[in-house]
Amino acid sequence: MTPQERAAKSAAAMWAHDAASKWFGMELVEVDEGRAVLALTVAPHHCNGHGICHGGVTHALADSAFAFACNSRNATTVGQHTMMSYLVPGQLGDRLTATATETTVTGRSGVYDVRVTNQDDTIIAEFRGMSRAIGGQNFEE
């Protein structure tokens, strides 16, 4: 099995049980070893009292991309710590894309950067996630 095939199979296994990402309206766009791309169109129920995309929605999108990237090797992995910097608010109707990229994996710990952009490639937010492999697999190999 190639690394890309393993990442796709792991993502499919996770996506099948990921009610939260689906509930938000996210779409799994692409996955590869150490990388994942998810997208979301900002709907009225994603907006806060200022009429802009709620920061928690943006964070959830980045966090889900992080999850698929850090599980791409079929080792059950969870978030240990995350940080988000909001740069520009997402607007109603924006197509937000979160691209997660692995920075490093050492032992059971990993570091991932996620950039959230809109349809114009404007950077909405930057996210950094630290992961921890907890044992187990997303599918049997």
Residue span of the structural domain in which 33 resides: 3-133
Within-domain flag for 66: yes
pTM of the model: 0.96
Within-domain flag for 116: yes
The number of distinct structural domains making up the chain is 1
Output the domain CATH number for residue 56. Answer: 3.10.129.10
Within-domain flag for 139: no
Within-domain flag for 82: yes
According to the model, what pLDDT value does residue 19 have?
A: 97
**Phi, psi angle pair for 108, to nearest 5°:** -95, 0
Mean per-residue pLDDT for 30-52?
98
Q: How confident is the model at residue 94 (pLDDT cuts 50, 70, 90)?
A: very high
% pLDDT > 70, the chain:
100
Q: What is the pLDDT of residues 97-133, one digit of tens each?
A: 999 999 999 999 999 999 999 999 999 999 999 999 9
According to the model, what pLDDT value does residue 115 have?
A: 98
Mean per-residue pLDDT for 49-68?
98
Within-domain flag for 67: yes
Farthest CA pair distance, the chain: 48
